[in-house]
Amino acid sequence: MVIFFGPPGAGKSVQGQLLAARHGWRWLSTGQLLRDAKSLELQEIMTRGDFVSDKKINDVIDQALSLADSIDDVVLDGYPRKIEQAQWLLDNLPRHNRKITIVIFLNVSNEVIFQRLRIRGRADDSEGSIAKRSEEYSEKTEPVMEYLSAKGIDVLKVDGEGSVGTVHDRVEKALQSCIQK
Ligand code: AMP
């Protein structure tokens, strides 16, 4: 399992999909799974930039991992976003016969992030929601990297600036360095 980390707008989804497509793996984005659920209640939470409850999000990822049982590997994007979720993941991975190969942190400057979010134009990309999501990211999500690293998992920082292809090459290199260890 490969986990993509980074603030909203860092390019997790683009890079996650590309990596999964290249290797024949499944891309699992909790944000996309929640949007696909077409639930008004969930949409309201997302529009505000709030987090969906741990119970709901863990159920979503549990189901998605079950559906991916026959796929060689999976790429997680947008999960775990809290220590509690990371804990749940570590506790439940053995049940899904998976383990975390690498956590890739996409390092991107604030300037580039705002540029990318502006181009993307997703329904929940209002100024208020972006501010809320950035705040949640710094407070709750950033500490997850330390947590996973302390559990002995490889966390690699990758320069996320530049073209999609350039960043993808860096991601692939980071992954290979980890696999060959
Ligand atoms: P994303 O597509 O990753 O930017 O996620 C969009 C929205 O889905 C977030 O702003 C949250 O409202 C919700 N969401 C996605 N992943 C999670 C998660 N792991 N925990 C809580 N809420 C989540």
What pLDDT shows up at residue 118?
85
What pLDDT shows up at residue 172?
98
Query: Cβ atoms within 10 A of the Cβ of 98, count?
Result: 17
Residue keyed to tokens 């999909």: 17
Question: What string of DSSP letters covers 81-105?
Answer: -SHHHHHHHHHHTGGGT----EEEE
Residues of the chain with pLDDT under 50: none
What pLDDT shows up at residue 181?
77
Contact 107, 156 (CB under 8 A): no
Query: What separation in angstroms does the CA of 63 have from each of 21, 82, 167, 169?
Result: 21, 19, 30, 31
Candidate of 81, 88, 139 to mutate for ligand 1, largest count of ligand atoms within 8 Å of Cβ = 81
What pLDDT shows up at residue 95?
98
Over residues 109-151, the pLDDT tens digits come to 989 998 888 888 888 998 899 889 999 999 999 999 999 999 9
- 159 Cα–ligand 1 center, Å: 23
